[in-house]
Amino acid sequence: MKERIASVGLRAERGGGMSDIDRGALIRRGLLLNYATIGYNTVEAVVSLIAGMLAGSVALLGFGIDSVIEVTASGAAQWRLRSDAEPVRREQVERISLRLIGACFLGLAAYVTIDAGKSLWLQERPNRTIVGVVILALSVFVMPLLARAKRDVADKMQSGALRAEAKQTSLCAYLSFIALAGVALNATFGWWWADPVAALAMVPIIVVEGIAGLRAKVDDCC
């Protein structure tokens, strides 16, 4: 028994103060948080895309597509967590997933820029959508909580890929707030231009994340 305790202590010392048992608990927690993110973002994407198409809202459509990308990012984080025991494979998973997600973000930025620009030029007025307001308001509350919990797991595991995925969850919260402002102003005051302007406000944030993903600078993990 004493030898086993000593062995665990030695592993903890080599692993930066974390035992195999603690690391296993962090992996399980990370997986559960990602399951929750995937489930919520799937609902979020479906509702946002349907509401956006029915209302003709560029901000809601852009947010819905971002939710699909967030599901992809959470799936990549699942892959990363499940490959934790294999350092070489883990690094390959991080690099490939970050590049794929980066390309998706840049595609989203292009779509939002073109569609929002067209809406402003043609003065296309989106319809009021209460459903859109509700899903965005809910996301403003839910996503920061998930992001904070996932960032804690990433920091304790010293994983650059998991930090990036937690950052993308935070990005989802920022985008939901921006989109909510545009959709709510249109629904409340009839300011049709607020929706495409809010969508365009998302573009710089999306582009920065896309470029970071394509560069795929993967931090060393412990």
Contact 33, 146 (CB under 8 A): yes
Structural domains in the chain, sorted by start? 22-215 (1.20.1510)
Show pLDDT as tens, one digit a residue, over the chain (222 residues).
Answer: 444 434 434 343 344 455 666 777 888 888 899 899 999 999 999 999 999 999 888 888 888 988 888 888 888 788 878 876 666 676 777 778 778 778 888 888 888 898 888 888 888 778 888 888 899 999 999 999 999 999 998 888 877 778 878 887 888 888 888 888 888 888 888 888 988 888 898 889 889 888 887 886 555 444
| pTM of the model as a whole | 0.75
Torsion of CA 150, 152, 155, 158, to 10 degrees: -60
Amino acid at 105: F
Nearest of 179, 222, 218, 180 to residue 202 by alpha carbon? 179
**Spatial contact of 56 and 126, defined as CB atoms under 8 Å apart:** yes
DSSP annotation of 18 = -
